[in-house]
């Protein structure tokens, strides 16, 4: 099973990963605020992630680690 881990230190909540996810399983977490004041990205449907790393590829802040 694949999933992503978002590093709150780097994430700026730009949402490019959300738009890039072919499975539509990412969203910005409105419940949380990073130390820099952004809503970070999160995996909202853990079962839907296929580990394709499209999110990693489009993330301008290299905040995403993809594991399988």
Footprint of another protein (CB under 8 A): 2, 5, 7, 9-10, 12-16, 19-20, 36, 38, 51, 53-54, 56-62, 64-68
Q: Which is nearer to another protein, 5 or 45 (CB)?
A: 5
In angstroms, the CA 4 to CA 44 distance is 11
Least CB distance to another protein at residue 31 (A): 18
In angstroms, the CA 48 to CA 54 distance is 14
Contact between 13 and 38 (Cβ < 8 Å)? yes
Least CB distance to another protein at residue 21 (A): 10
């Amino acid at each position: 099973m694949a999933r992503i881990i978002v590093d709150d230190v780097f994430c700026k909540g730009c949402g490019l990963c959300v738009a890039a996810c072919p499975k539509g399983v990412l969203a910005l977490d409105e419940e949380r605020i990073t130390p820099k004041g952004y809503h970070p990205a999160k995996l909202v449907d853990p079962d839907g992630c296929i580990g394709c790393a499209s999110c990693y590829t489009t993330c301008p802040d290299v905040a995403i680690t993809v594991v399988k």
